[in-house]
Structure formats: C-alpha cells, structure tokens
Structure 1
Amino acid sequence: TMDIRKNKIREAVQTFENLEHRMEPVATVRGVDFVNDSKATNVNSTWYALESMTKPTILVLGGVDKGNDYSLIKDLVEEKVKAIVCMGTDNSKIHEAFDGVVKLVDTANAQDAVQASFSLASPGDVVLLSPACASFDLFKNYEDRGKQFKDAVKSL
C-alpha cells in the first residue's frame, strides 16, 4: 500500500507542478530562464515563489494592489533579486517599498516588461513573473497576463 500511496503523491505533485500560470517554466532564452507565476495575486504567493528561487532573479511585479505589505518579501528581495521590473498602471507602493533596495524599472505592458527583464538579466539568471497583484489594470485576468507574458518571451 505504501507504493500505491507514493505513486498517488507523485501524480498529485506532477499535476500541481504543471498548473498553468503557477511557477510555470516558459522558456530559456540565451541562458535566461523565464517563469510564469501570474497566478500569484498577493504578496504571500510571491514570497513562496521567491523562496524557491535558486538563481539570481529579475522579478516582474505589479498590477492592482490589494493593500499589499511588501515588507513581507523585503528580505527575500535583498537576498535574491537583482532588479524589479514593475508592470502596472500605479507602481508607487512598489517604489516606496524597494527604492534604494534594488534597481527598479517601470513598464506599461507585458511586452515591455519582458524586454526590460531580458536586458537586465545575465545568462544563469531567472526572470520571474510573480506580480503579487491583481491583473485588472492592464489585462482581462491573471490567465491573460500569463499568456501575454509567455507570448512576449516567445517573441524575444
């Protein structure tokens, strides 16, 4: 019965790992990995995403802020993030939280965010879309945001 249980757990984990828009590997372009975690619509989800990063990270953050407390991820940002690329119509709270902590770049859409991230990244880095915000400022929903991110990566 232990084998059956292990197989069940393995299946469940594989199913979980393959959820679209949740830590979904998109592509590696010239040594830079792109990861789509568009489903991360709050700071806690982004904390888990950053916690799992093992390479220097360019974090794509922003959208409709739902009263976010970015101090929750400040330590992880200091430890793992090379730059934050803001993707949203109002990025003021992100700037307040991370000015002087890490390089910040503002972009207005997924295409610009991906291009800015790619230009900031070096081979061996990860570009992580884990926005910590809702998507309604620029996108229909988080699926649309994730799809536009993936399309932009594929057109690099």
Structure 2
Amino acid sequence: MASIYDFNAASLSGEEVALKQYEGKVLLIVNTASACGFTPQYKGLEALYRDLGPRGFAVLGFPCNQFGHQEPGDARQIANFCESKYDVSFPMFAKIDVNGTKAHPLYSYLKAAKSGLLGSSIKWNFTKFLVDRGGKVVGRYPPTATPESLRRDIEALL
C-alpha cells in the first residue's frame, strides 16, 4: 500500500507539492469550500494551525466543488476569499474532486485508509482526516466535527 508521502498535489498557486515535505508532522487534511454552512470552520482550522504548528502540526486544505457547487471560484478567488475573510495561512491546494472517477489519488488513499460511518465516500465539505507523524491515517471526522473538538486527538499525537 502506498504511503501518504508518496503523493503530490498542486498548490493553490499552481506549484507541484510533494507531501513528503510534511513527513514527521501531524496532519489534518480537509476538503474545503467557500460557500458552505461549514465554511466558518476555516477560523478554527487556522487557530489550530497557528497554535499547534510550532509543535509539528499542519492543516492541508483541499477546495472541492462536488457538494452543492459550494466552491465555484478559481484558484485566485479561493485564495483571496481565504486570506481576506479568514486570514488563512495554512497550505491550500488546487481545487480537486474527492469522489468519483476523477478523485485525486490522495483522497482515494485517505478514503481507503479510513472509511466513514456510511462507507468510504466523502459525504460533504469539511470532512477531516487526521494523520500521525508516521503518515498513518488515524482518524476521520465528519463535517459537523468542529476543529476545536479535534484538539485533544491532535495534541495526543504531538
């Protein structure tokens, strides 16, 4: 089976990023959207990133337009929204699909590693995957799980 560190993803600015650069960090990987009822979670995600980042934690945001067309913007619009509305400084990646035949390989891997309550498919925006320092997917959380509610699980891995 592949490792999370075997994947690459395009950043929001279009640069190819090897996830290997996050090796040794605890990661929270989230599919995001700018026009979702859960969009205010950006604030909590950013707070976790700023508070726990110095201890080896990172949030990786992956915009997705597969749920209710809640991420219709292009990369520039997404970046402007995240920066101006929520002061997001954690790494954001290019818009991807998380389900279906065009799902990003990283998400195919994450879903295979940790199935959800109703199967492996991502059901909505702001589904979260927690990855330990060794690259193992150790948790999957529904969109309703707030970033703040994950703090204890994240800190246990730090």
Higher CA-based Rg: 1
**Shared fold, TM over 0.5:** no
Shorter chain as normaliser: what TM range?
0.3 to 0.5
Higher helix share: 1
TM-score normalised over the length of structure 1: 0.32
TM-score normalised over the length of structure 2: 0.32
